[in-house]
A = this chain, B = another copy of it.
Amino acid sequence: MKKPQTQPTKLTISYDEYLIKFRKLLVSLKLNNSTQREYVLKLFFECQEHLTADEVVLKLKQKFNITIGIATVYRILSFLEQMKIIKSLTLENETSKKYEINLKTHHDHLICNECGDVIEFYDSELERIQELIAQEKGFVLTNHHMILYGICEKCRR
């Protein structure tokens, strides 16, 4: 059987365009803009990794040499998540939530237990089966969490 697997594709948008959209969103919600919010957004845009709140503080210091209080970071993360600009995931054996920007098309994660490497993938067959299972049980799916854990090629050597 042909397996229709693909890489998740990154939506092509520049940071400037992205920022304009973001500012419009804030206006439409009657919210103020702030340097802090824009820096966090910029960080996630540039560094497309999975970051914890602590790591956001750290990276902001490293990359832009600015300091934002951890409370503010948490508030911004919640806001961005509600707006679906970022999304969160909780990994096995890790205590704190990680966040990543939602620029890519929907995808799931494959993680190496040894080196922690994260591979993103999308598989339409998998998605289709999830829908079938849900249907069979009388559910309408809203979302799903799927993380595969294993050992990557490099670490097996």
Residues of A within 8 A of B (CB): 3, 5, 90, 92, 110, 112-113, 119, 121, 123, 125-126, 129-130, 132-134, 136-153, 156
Contacts and interface: CB of A to CB of B under 8 A. Distances in A.
A119 B147 CA distance: 19
Given A3-B132, A129-B129, A133-B110, A148 B141 contact: yes
A89 to B, nearest CB: 10
Top 7 nearest A-B pairs (CB, nearest first) are A138-B153, A139-B150, A141-B150, A146-B146, A144-B148, A145-B147, A140-B151
Contacts of A137: 110, 119, 121, 152
B150 A134 contact: yes
Given A125-B129, A145-B146, 7 more contacts: A126-B129, A126-B133, A130-B148, A139-B148, A141-B150, A142-B150, A144-B149
A148 B140 CA distance: 10
Contact of A144 (B125, B134, B147, B156): B147
Nearest to A147: B145
Contacts of A92: 145
B136 A5 contact: yes
A142 B113 CA distance: 9
A143 B5 CA distance: 20
Contacts of A112: 139
